[in-house]
Amino acid sequence: MEFNLINVGIADFAISNSPDILRTILGSCVGVCLYDPELKIGGMCHIMLPTMKDTSKSMKKYADSAIPMMLKEMEERGARRKAVLAKITGGATMFTLSENSMMGEIGNNNIARVREVLKGLAISLAAEDTGGNYGRTIDFYLETGMVKIKSMGRQERVI
């Protein structure tokens, strides 16, 4: 079966359909995978920060703007919001910094904001692999909705 491997960069998103695979690499950023299992349309966004404060910056960088944008584009391609499921990964604490440091909490803040945005959009969170202190490479298989997670020195996981 012919498929495209689509790399999703930092503060970006991509949408495709089966049998393509979407891939990104995460640290404190959160990967949000949205999937319509009946139509096999999916999107992945690479969330860098929780909340957009400066509208002159890329809206694809922030949880509260990127996720609704990606969902809207998926709906324009035929996805039905009530069928869409979410899987999230990442949000690691990559650096040990002084307590209460903004940078030390960015992963947790990203995870919390992503969950809030999904809830506000009435998107069910089907699975997650978040937190920890290690990076992840994720592959989102649009044929099945499976997300494969690879991390250095850790067993490969599937959600």
Report, as residue numbers or ranges, the catalytic residues.
Answer: 29
The end-to-end CA distance of the chain, in Å, is 23
139's tokens: 């592959």
Contact between residue 3 and residue 20 where contact means Cβ atoms under 8 Å apart: yes
Amino acid identity for residue 127 in this structure: A
A 10 A CB-CB count for 155 gives: 7
